[in-house]
Amino acid sequence: MQTSIRVGVPNRDRLTRVAAEDFGGVSLDEALGRLLEEHWERMAIAAVHATGDVDWQRYVRDADRADQRDAALAADPWEGPVPDVHGAPWRTEISGPRGERTEGKRG
C-alpha cells in the first residue's frame, strides 16, 4: 500500500540526491526506508551507550565465539538420508544396523 506525504521541495530534492548518489539510484521510498533504518540503529546504539556499563570488547569476544561455534555446527556433514531433489531417479538411504549407505532406484 502506498500513500502520499507532503514534503518541501528542498527536502524532496535532498532525498532524491541521497537516493541517487548514496544508495545507487534506488526509489525515494527505498531511500527513505534506509534513512529511517539508519536513524533507528543510531538511536539503539545511543541507548546502549547511555547505560554506561557496556563492555564492548567482551561483547565482541562473545559474539565471535558464538559465530565460531555456529560455524562449526554448520560444517558438520549431514549423516542422514538425502532427499529426492528435482525428481532425481536415485536416492541414498541409510540401511543396516551400522548405518551403512546403500543406493537404490526409486520404485
pLDDT of 53-97, one tens digit each?
Answer: 667 778 888 888 888 887 766 666 667 666 665 655 544 455 555
DSSP track, 60-84: HHHHHHHHHHHHHHHHSPP-SPBPP
Structurally, the chain folds into a number of domains equal to 1
Tell me the average pLDDT of the chain. 78
pLDDT of residue 106 exceeding 50, the answer is no
Residue 92 lies in a domain: no
Average pLDDT estimate for 13-19: 97
SS3 for 91? strand
DSSP, res 97: T
* Cell (9 digits) for 82: 538425502
Average pLDDT estimate for 21-46: 94
Residue 64 lies in a domain: yes
Domain enclosing residue 44, as ranges: 7-75
Q: Is this model's pTM higher than 0.95 or not? A: no
Whole-number Å distance between alpha carbons of 53 and 42 = 18
Residue 53 lies in a domain: yes
SS3 for 44? helix
